[in-house]
């Protein structure tokens, strides 16, 4: 089943806020083998002018993920989760995310395309502080593979 094209411009409710924890930053950094002291050493990060340890560039996916779940669960979306493949991913940063940030994510569907039975859904998740400061935008294209059993 192809993805409902009427989803374009759909804006979801902002997610509950996510508090970026210092140990979560360190755990995520170890998981992506990012051993730069910027992610681990508080005094190193502070000497560079940051409030606390700095999250690795792909850390915001943790918040984006929550917004993608909203999209996949949307009753009108008709997206078969078992056929979803991640196609493209992009982050644009206004500033670096640091431990202590409290962020909300809000997803907008920007494009729905069909290509030879496959559907592609592009969405943009804006992550902002509770005061409304935009920190990072994540753009993701999910490919929903054609609805026949994979080889």
Partner 1 sequence: MSGTPWSTFSVGDEVANETIYLTRESLVRYAGASGDFNPIHYRDDVAQSVGLDGVLAHGMLTMGLAIAPVTSWLAGKAMVTSYQVRFTKPVYVPVTGSAGVTVSVTLHSLGEAPEESATLALRVTNDEGATVLGKAIAVVSTL
Residue 106: count of CB within 10 angstroms of its CB: 16
Local structure of 61: helix, strand or coil: helix
- Sequence-distant (6+) residues with CB within 8 A of 68 are 107, 123, 125, 140, 142
Q: How far is the CB of 6 from partner 1 (least distance, A)?
A: 27
Cβ atoms < 10 Å from Cβ of 125 = 26
- Residue 55 or residue 112: which is nearer to partner 1 going by CB? 55
Residues 6+ apart with CB under 8 A from 134: 94, 126, 127, 128
Interacting positions 16-35 with partner 1 (CB under 8 A): 24, 27-28, 30-35
Site for partner 1 in 52-111 (CB under 8 A): 56-58, 61-62, 65, 82, 85-93, 95-96
* Nearer Cβ to partner 1 (81/102): 81
Which residues in this chain contact partner 1 in the complex, by CB under 8 A? 24, 27-28, 30-36, 38-39, 44, 48-49, 56-58, 61-62, 65, 82, 85-93, 95-96, 139, 149-151
């Amino acid at each position: 089943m192809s993805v409902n094209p009427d989803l374009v411009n759909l804006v979801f409710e902002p997610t509950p806020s996510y508090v970026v924890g210092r140990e979560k930053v360190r755990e995520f950094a170890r998981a992506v083998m990012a051993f730069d002291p910027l992610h681990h050493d508080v005094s190193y990060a502070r000497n560079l002018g940051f409030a606390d340890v700095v999250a690795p560039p792909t850390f915001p996916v943790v918040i984006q993920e929550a917004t993608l779940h909203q999209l996949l669960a949307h009753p009108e979306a008709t997206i078969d989760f078992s056929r979803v493949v991640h196609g493209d991913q992009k982050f644009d940063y206004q500033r670096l995310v640091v431990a202590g940030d409290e962020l909300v994510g809000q997803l907008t569907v920007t494009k729905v395309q069909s290509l030879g039975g496959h559907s592609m859904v592009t969405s943009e998740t804006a992550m902002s502080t509770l005061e409304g400061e935009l920190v990072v935008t994540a753009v993701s294209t999910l490919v929903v593979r054609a609805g026949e059993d994979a080889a």
